[in-house]
Amino acid sequence: MSRIAIIGSCITRDLWPIRGDPEGLLYVSRTSLPSLFSTPIRRFRPARTPPGGLKRHQHRALAADLQKTALAALVAFRPTHLIFDFIDERFDLVSADGAIATHSWELEVSGYLAQPAFRSARSIPRLSAACERLWTGGAAEFAAFVRATPLKDARLILHSARWAPMRRDRAGRERALPTVEILPGRETDLRAHNRLLEGYEAEFRTLMPPMAEVAAPESRIADDAHRWGLSPFHYVPSYYRDIWRQLEALGVERRLSPPAGGPSARAA
């Protein structure tokens, strides 16, 4: 049975619409390549229960980013397929005592930014030259990490995605997407982020061992009826069907073991 690891976002994770943690699937999210290879945030202490109204899985992803546990979990998981998508590479980074973390929505609402660990923290804007240099360094470290660990035996797959400029409403009409935000109240430039993604993917291809690639550019349309709400990377159903067919051709199995008592996994 295939064992799937994802370093990315919900656009890949939602291909397996099992809630919880299905056996055979490891999902690393709300992080960035430079954050993965940073030292842990010193003096950070996670709460025993998720703060700020976070769900358990959201808090777990946040704590993994701050404590830098994802890489060890990834190697221990020994995936047969490792899928990357860079849609979560949209958040600013934050530097605290020389360590790097992802300034995700989860970090924003958790209250952790008020901890002493972040007292002298500074922001590194995602669209800045400084962030680009950090990201390129993180990509090079990841390529070396793959070659030096059991991950070299996994099938590597790049899920190429972009922010959708168009939306489809519930009546089936397509129109331009309104202004988009990274965090509530913080508007951003969709085209600039798509240029960033294009550059990230090009750099990653040059650094990594050979990778397969899946993409569905014709279906990159935001869906008003998406279960997670309207967003430039919450696509119409045909997008997920197109990507799933391509993954199946690369040996990704359609079913994973569900949680105890849960339903079988089905593709979106």
Q: What is the CA radius of gyration of the chain?
A: 18
The pair of structure tokens assigned to 159 is 């899920």
Q: Please report, for the chain, the start and end positions of each structural domain, with discontinuous segments joined by +.
A: 4-249
pLDDT for 266 equals 32
Q: Which of 107, 95, 100, 86 is nearest to 183 (CA)?
A: 107
Give 130-190 as a DSSP string.
Answer: HHHHHHHHHHHHHHHHHHHSGGGGSEEEEE-----SEEE-TTS-EEE---EEEETTEEE-H
pLDDT in tens, 176-188: 987 888 998 888 9
Regions of the chain with pLDDT less than 50: 257-268
Taking the model in full, what pTM does it have?
0.92
Topology of the domain comprising 4-249: Rossmann fold (3.40.50)
pLDDT for 255 equals 64
The whole-angstrom separation of Cα 247 and Cα 205 is 18
Instruction: Give the strands of the sheet with 93-96, arranged side by side.
Output: 99-102, 93-96, 122-124
pLDDT for 267 equals 31
pLDDT for 20 equals 58
The whole-angstrom separation of Cα 235 and Cα 77 is 29
pLDDT for 185 equals 87
The pair of structure tokens assigned to 165 is 């400029």
